[in-house]
Amino acid sequence: MKKILLMMTVLGLTFAFAGSVAPVNNALYQKECASCHFGYQPALLNKTSWEKVMENLSDHFGTDASLGKAEHDQILAYLISNAGSGKIAANNTSMRITESPKFIKEHREVPVRLIKQKEVGSLSNCSACHTLADQGNYSERAIKIPNYGRWE
Ligand code: HEC
Ligand code: HEC
């Protein structure tokens, strides 16, 4: 019981920091949706965006990421019940996190050469710069851009 209370406190603190989202905690999602790219946390997109992503898996950004019905439905339920509403997820009608107005605003000062370099490739590759991205921590203190270093 004590352990559980402590966990909740830790999570509460994590949520209190700017630039943090709840980490992925679904094994099926991790297996099916984090093999080709970083496993984007559900809170990075809103419910509508996730529904669009999951409706179009056979033509997923130029690749086929289709799933069986059972897996599809389970992952969709996980994404929807943990979808974001504010911050990065707000006012986004696209299927991309990187096209959300807040995301674009946050990244507009990042030089294109640092994004296009082979160690990063594109802004979709969150974990190339956000060293604690897999923990849902996007705070500035945890940013380290390849061939550039810390962002301050
Ligand atoms: C077969 C490989 C593959 C699998 C499996 C896959 N994806 Fe993707 N995904 C891609 C590619 C390729 C892109 C485009 C990346 C880019 O533009 O750099 C992408 C992009 C995305 C983006 C947009 C990222 C951005 O730019 O903001 C989201 C969201 C996404 N995938 C979610 C998922 C989900 C959810 C699943 C599991 C149901 C999944 N992906 C499984 C290949 C895959
Ligand atoms: C090329 C490196 C790079 C990549 C790739 C990148 N970011 Fe960032 N990100 C930054 C930098 C630098 C900042 C700080 C910008 C500023 O404050 O001027 C930032 C800021 C942020 C913030 C705001 C943090 C805060 O303290 O409020 C979030 C959230 C974020 N990024 C999420 C993401 C996500 C999600 C992805 C992947 C879809 C991503 N980033 C990809 C470099 C990157």
Question: Atom 11 (ligand 2): residue with closest C-alpha?
Answer: 107
Segment 120-127 long-range contacts (CB within 8 Å, at least 24 positions apart)? 120/145, 120/146, 122/98, 123/98, 124/37, 124/38, 124/96, 124/97, 124/98, 125/37, 125/38, 126/38, 126/40, 127/38
Span of 7-11, 79-83, 103-107, 132-136 with lowest mean pLDDT: 7-11
Mean pLDDT, all residues of the chain: 90
- Residues 53-102 pLDDT 10s: 999 999 999 999 999 999 999 999 999 999 999 889 999 999 999 999 99
**CB of 114 closer than 6 angstroms to any ligand 2 atom:** yes
Statement: residue 9 has pLDDT above 80: no
- Between vectors from CA 122 to CA 118 and to CA 126, what angle results, nearest 5°? 105
pTM: 0.91
**Pair 136, 128: CB distance under 8 Å:** no
Higher pLDDT, 2 or 107: 107
